[in-house]
Structure formats: structure tokens, C-alpha cells
Structure 1
Amino acid sequence: MMSGIERPITVFVDADNTLWDTNQVFAGAQLALLAQIEAAVGLKAAERDRLSYVRACDQAIAARHHDGLRYPPHLLLRALVFALQGETSEAAARAAWSNHLPSMLGRADEEEIVQIYFAALRAPPGLRSGVIEGLVRLEKANATVLIVTEAASARVEETATKLGLAGHFTRVIEGKKRPDLYRRVLRLSGSPAAAYMIGDQLDRDIAPAKEAGLTTIYFPGGFVPRWTPDKDKIGPDFQVSDLAEAAAIILAGEEARSDHILRA
């Protein structure tokens, strides 16, 4: 344990777009999807920012779907066909949502393109900045590091192992990121005196952890959905540019608190 730190530390950390850059995988897959559709229908997007073009349809669909950004990808494919024919992103999303197959695309072509898209999404993500350094610093301080995710825990553990993170965290917790999840985990782990949450989403990572009484550290990712609330409204305790910086904030704060207790 690092000198000066006496209290048990529990650190929750998000996985996708916090430990590794899932956004870059989706960006590559979405751009490839657009290129496949353009080739299939013989039309070309006029916009220079092709990723923003795709994501305008992406977010218009997600805003309507009960699963948000986890909607079925054939909806994005169909919306992009409508958009290439001149529809706005909102109108294209409505047309795709009606479940009508665009006349320019056959079902066999649609299925083939969707399968190519799924294959692209299986590309391994890269680690985000400072992840190894930050986790090692927390490990040396005897912190309990819990990866908390709404994705399948088996997939998260597999990705962590492939990226060399095995042994640098305590366990993976799968569940909806609600305040009760954090409270329950902390209660079962003996109610440690210090608890932190590091995440890239203000509404889904930071807000529920803050409500549960954790110290929150916002590590912005490369993609911020349009419905994300303003940062000032959520009020994370800290904002960082890499995970090593988050670890430094946690350990410096705990050392200062321990020193204050010793002097009191």
C-alpha cells in the first residue's frame, strides 16, 4: 500500500469508451456501412463529414427506440438508404422505423451488408489513454477496482483479457447503473470509507454514481449523444483527460485525507 493511505478504496470504472475506445470501432464500422450502402444503391453522400452524416441518422433512430443506441442495425441501414435519396435524418429515421424496406435495396443485399457490419463491430478496440498506468497505480494502493457495465460481463472480461488488463482489476459487475447498484455493491463489500466512479457518460455513469454518494470522475469519450445533459447540470467532481490522471486524483485525495486525520 502507498504510504499515507489508510482507508479502503473502492473504484468503479466503466468499460466501453472508458477503459477502451469502443467509439473508434463503431466509427470504422459505420463508415464502412455507408460505403457498402452507397455501392449497393449507386448513390453517394454529398456531405464531407461522413461520420456525422451517419450519426445524424443513428441518433435520430436511437431517440425513438426503447433500447436507445442498441437498436437493430438494419434500421440504420434503411435510414441511410432513405437519406441518400434526399430525406433528412429525421425523416429517414421515421421511414426506417416504419419497417419498410427501401425500394432500392433487396432483402438479400440488406442481410449481407448487416452481416459485414456485425463483423466490423467485432474488431478489437484500443485502450484509452493512461489505462494501464492508472490501474497499476490503483492496484499498488490496494484499491478494489470494479469494472461496472451494462454489457455482458463475459464479453467485457474477454475484451479486458485481450487488451492485457487481466489481473489489474478485482471483478466485473454487470447491471443497470442505478444508484442502488452502487449502494448494494458497497454494502456487500463492507462499506468502504472511500468510493469513486470513473466513466465517460454523464447521464449513465456519473449521475447515478453521484446520487449514490460516490466521488465522480468524468473521462469524456469521443462520442457524446445529442441527448446528453449539460455537464454543469450533472456536476462531476472531477474531469480528466486520461485514466492515469483519475488514479492520481484518487490517491492524492486519499493521502491528503489520511494526513489530515493523523494531524487532527
Structure 2
Amino acid sequence: MHQRLSIFVDADDTLWENNILFERVIDDYLDWLAHPVLTRTEIRAMLDDIERANAVTHGYGSKAFLHSLAECVARLRERPVTDDEVDRIALLAAPLIDRGHVELIPGVAETLGVLAARHDLRLLTKGDTDEQRAKIDASGLAGHFRSVHIVPEKDVGTYAGLLDEFRIAPAATWMVGNSPKSDILPARRAGMRAVFIPHTHTWVLEHDEVDASDAGVLHLAAFTDLLHHF
């Protein structure tokens, strides 16, 4: 018999594929730019810096991403971006706008079905509310969760607030996700335990070091492995 726990679960790149879609757009974007001097690596580093700064004021998601792509063009070409360039960027990023379908990571739906019978699951994702809601609806997974939370940022305050809202003990609460920056480290700082499930295409801005000696973090290779521990 499993002790009933409160388990928060990340969405993007934990339940369904997300960042790989952005990476494909960036590849096409770099092909289109074909800068005569800077390498693709140098331009990508510039774009990462722009996204890092814009996340503070514009948040996350495709709208913020489009804004960053346009700003990068303006910076590279040392002039305001033109209407034609804005249209071309929108065309390149069109696959991100259609959220009527999401690609679930293998085994996710089946695993959630079993876990939901054993524990109290809550979905916790950050980003644009309408965009994240559309992905949740398209996934068909909402019924596995006791509640769904879409927040602008996942920091220590976010986790502490949820613990207080549901009056649950941190030590009996887990956060499951692929992002050290948003899922693992702030949850641990809030006193929760965490399950780190790395994803090959985790966004570079979500990277951070996870202490391998931290007994409060369970490292798993796949989402389906949760059934062996919970």
C-alpha cells in the first residue's frame, strides 16, 4: 500500500514535447538569417541573452518568443525590424501557434492513470495562461489532476504559496519535472522533495546544477519509472 502523497507535476517537456518545437523554429530562423559574419552559435547565444531578459517582462510562450526573434533581427541588422521581417518570423513560428494537438511523451497517460488512484496529483505549469490552457485541453490529461495551476514563474514563493493554500506538509509533497531551474531547485528550497526526469531538449534557460548527493531528489530516466516509486 502506497502512502498517499501530494505530487505536483510539470507539463512542458515532462508530460508532452514542447521545447523541441521551439528548437526547430530556431534552426529555420538561423537558416533564414544567414548572417555574413556571425556564426550560428554566436547568434544563438545572442538570442538566448535576449530571451533571458525578455522573460522578466514578457514571460514565457510563443508570443514572448516571437518578440525575442524580432528583437534579435533588429539587433543584428542595427535597425528596426520591418513588417516583412515580422511576417516572415511569424511564418517560421507558425507550428508553435497551433495548439490543437500536443505530442504526449510515451507512457505519460497510462502512468498518470495509475498515479491518480494512489496519490493527489496537481498540475503546475508556467507561461501564458491561454496558451498553456490550450495545451492542457488538447492533452486530455486534466482529469487526472485534482487541480491545475498556471503561473507566470515557478520560484520558491510559488511553491510555498501552494503548500500554504492546500495546507500540506512539504516533506510529504513532491514536484516532478525536467527543469532544474523551475521544477527541482525552487521546490527543494521550499522544503519539498523532487523527482528530476531530464529531457534531451530542455530549454537552455532552464538548465542548472542539481546536487547529485541531495537525498531529497529522486533521479529517474523516464516518466513511467514513477510507478516503481509512488
TM-score between the two structures when normalised by the length of structure 2: 0.77
Change (3 A) 1:174 1:109: same
Q: Which residue of 2 aligns with 1:203?
A: 181
How far did residue 146 of structure 1 move?
Answer: 1.1
Amino acid at match of 2:9: V
Deviations 1:215-243 (A, max 9, x none): 11111121352683322279461111221
Q: Which residue of 1 aligns with 2:83?
A: 108
Q: Tell me if 1:57 matches 2:46.
A: yes
TM-score between the two structures when normalised by the length of structure 1: 0.69
Alignment of 1:91-170 (within 5 A): 95-96=75-76, 100-101=78-79, 107-123=82-98, 124-141=101-118, 143-170=119-146
Length, aligned pairs only = 220
Q: Tell me if 1:243 matches 2:228.
A: no
> Pairwise CA RMSD of aligned residues?
3.3
Change (3 A) 1:207 1:23: same
Larger Cα Rg: Structure 1 or Structure 2?
Answer: 1
Change (3 A) 1:121 1:130: same
CA distance in structure 2 between the aligned counterparts of 1:240 and 1:55, rounded to whole angstroms: 30
How far did residue 53 of structure 1 move?
Answer: 6.7
Q: Which residue of 2 aligns with 1:85?
A: none
Q: Which residue of 1 aligns with 2:155?
A: 178
Structure 2: where are the runs of 5+ without partners?
A: none
Change (3 A) 1:54 1:28: farther
Change (3 A) 1:116 1:224: closer
Amino acid at match of 2:211: D
Alignment of 1:28-107 (within 5 A): 28-38=24-34, 55-65=44-54, 67=56, 70=60, 73-77=66-70, 79=72, 95-96=75-76, 100-101=78-79, 107=82
Structure 1: where are the runs of 5+ without partners?
A: 83-94, 252-264
3-state secondary structure, aligned to 1:208: helix
Equivalent residues of 1:179, 1:208 under 8 A apart: yes
Deviations 1:58-113 (A, max 9, x none): 2232345463884553543564x69xxxxxxxxxxxx44xx9327xxx71321211
Change (3 A) 1:73 1:154: closer
Percent identity over paired residues: 24
